[in-house]
Amino acid sequence: MPHSPARPDRQTERTRWTRSADAWDRWADRMAEPADRMNQPLLRAVGLAPGHRLLDLASGTGEPALSAAALVGADGLVVATDLVASMLEGTRRRAAQRRTDALHFSLADMEHLPFAAASFDRVTCRFGLMFAPDAVRAAAEVARVLRPGGVAGFVVWGPAEENTLFRELAAAVDSVLGPDPEAGMPILFRFAAEGSLAAALAEGGLEVTDEQPLRLDHSVPAGRPFWAPTLDMGFAPRLTGEPAERLAAVRETADQRFRDLAGPDGMVPVRLHARLCIGRKA
């Protein structure tokens, strides 16, 4: 299956994520528990075990690198990497609080990994591959740095219409600020089509052993800002520098959109649909 035509540009991504770093660091600790509900299936699916050497790509503020470091233990190693230094700073800060000796850091573009061939047992990449302009090249780099028999796990977003928070917040932001000139949503959902992620991994030389949906649906009371972390983190580059009244208008629009989704019990159904794909180095 062909990938979506939305293609990121490395410099635009670097700028976007540099502008997002403060918001991500601000929310990272408070979002750790929901984040771990996605980390654990990923770490289980790659079969991460004590003593493993794991490379985590696009670690951002530390998901799933911090959970992985706790799992591999003192005899293992986790290398947290990212294209953007200020995003990785959040992982460093959080790691320092936990005194995790297993965790190491490296600035790294996933298309050009600064590691020797066959140096890792496992590779993870949570919500990162879609931002690599050449995802096939990134997959080929993963295949190169994995040891034979090593396993890589990737998590990407499923369809936008099945991700309530992004869908409603993008509509709220666009309605106040106008359309996004950088096509952030099409890039975010670049591998939403079933089979598209598996195709990129296979083209990069990984043997795809599993692709499965990850769904975390829940209900939340309308009128509460449960959407605030996603608005801050996901839309920071667009919102930074906007005047206070426009930011207030975005929040009011978002709040109204979620109230409109609530059922008679006042609860808003919030759907989350991601996709997990596992590749093996032959």
Ligand X SMILES: C[S@@+](CC[C@H](N)C(=O)[O-])C[C@H]1O[C@@H](n2cnc3c(N)ncnc32)[C@H](O)[C@@H]1O
| Site residues, ligand X (CB under 6 A) | 13, 17, 57-60, 63, 82-84, 87, 109-111, 126-128, 131-132
Residue whose CB is less far from ligand X, 111 or 255: 111
Min dist CB 105 to ligand X, Å, is: 13
Residue whose CB is less far from ligand X, 17 or 258: 17
Residue nearest to ligand X (CB): 60
Min dist CB 179 to ligand X, Å, is: 21
Min dist CB 226 to ligand X, Å, is: 18
Residue whose CB is less far from ligand X, 130 or 176: 130
DSSP string, the chain: -PPPS----HHHHHHHHHHHHHHHHHHHTTTHHHHHHHHHHHHHHTT--TT-EEEEES-TTTTTHHHHHHHH-TT-EEEEEES-HHHHHHHHHHHHHHT-TTEEEEE--TTS--S-TT-EEEEEEES-GGG-SSHHHHHHHHHHHEEEEEEEEEEEE--GGG-HHHHHHHHHHHHHH-S-TT-HHHHHTTT-STTHHHHHHHHTT-EEEEEEEEE--EEEETTS-TTHHHHHHHHHHHHTT--HHHHHHHHHHHHHHHHHH--TTSEEEE--EEEEEEEE--
Min dist CB 224 to ligand X, Å, is: 23
Residue whose CB is less far from ligand X, 88 or 270: 88
Min dist CB 15 to ligand X, Å, is: 10
Residue whose CB is less far from ligand X, 99 or 112: 112
